[in-house]
Amino acid sequence: MKRNTWQREAVREALGSNEGFVSAQSLHSTLRDTGSPIGLATVYRALADLAVEGEADSLQSLEGESLYRACTQGQHHHHLICRNCGLTVEIEADAVELWAQSVASEHGFTQANHVVDVFGLCAECTVQTRLAR
């Protein structure tokens, strides 16, 4: 049976108070910085659970790290993510869903999953980057 612990709650909350996607590692250090003695393994476990339960969204960064974010929509959706600050916009794309399914079945593939995410620089980071040069 599943139990409620302050650790899980802490992870849920830390995730919720974050704008964009974060890695398990950085979430862990954020928690430690705020005085929580939570363990790294626990953060990984909590995030994995949240992802399974649909309370969190996960994706792989371009570098291959797993990133998590509190999920605001129940349904399947995709993301527009800022490479620089992690800001994320959830996007729906029925057209893309249909496209993925049809491409798969056209080639005889079944049980199709798809990974569709757009990475870029958000408006703010675009400005900052320009100024930096």
Partner DNA sequence: TGTATTATTGATAACGAATCTCATTACTGT
Partner DNA sequence: ACAGTAATGAGATTCGTTATCAATAATACA
Residues engaged in binding DNA (CB under 7 A): 1-8, 23-25, 37-42, 44-46, 48, 64-66
**Whole-number CA gyration radius for the chain:** 17
Q: Which does 42 bind (CB under 5 to 8 A by kind): DNA, a second copy, none?
A: DNA
Q: Does 35 bind a second copy (CB under 8 A)?
A: no
Q: Which of 35, 37, 74, 108 binds a second copy (CB under 8 A)?
A: 108
C-beta separation of 68 from 22 below 8 A: yes
The nearest distance, CB 56 to a second copy, in angstroms, is 17
Q: Which of 115, 131, 132, 133 binds a second copy (CB under 8 A)?
A: 115
C-beta separation of 48 from 40 below 8 A: no
The nearest distance, CB 103 to a second copy, in angstroms, is 6
Residue 70 has phi, psi (to 5 degrees) of -60, 135
Q: Does 126 bind a second copy (CB under 8 A)?
A: yes
Pick the closer one to a second copy by CB: 75 or 111.
Answer: 111
Rounded to a whole number of angstroms, the distance between the first and last alpha carbons of the chain is: 56
The nearest distance, CB 16 to DNA, in angstroms, is 17
User: How far apart are alpha carbons 46 and 12 in whole angstroms?
Assistant: 8
Residues 6+ apart with CB under 8 A from 67: 21, 22, 23, 58, 59, 60, 61, 86
Interacting residue ranges for a second copy, rule: CB under 8 A: 60, 62, 64-66, 80, 82-83, 89, 91, 93, 95-96, 99-100, 103-104, 107-123, 126
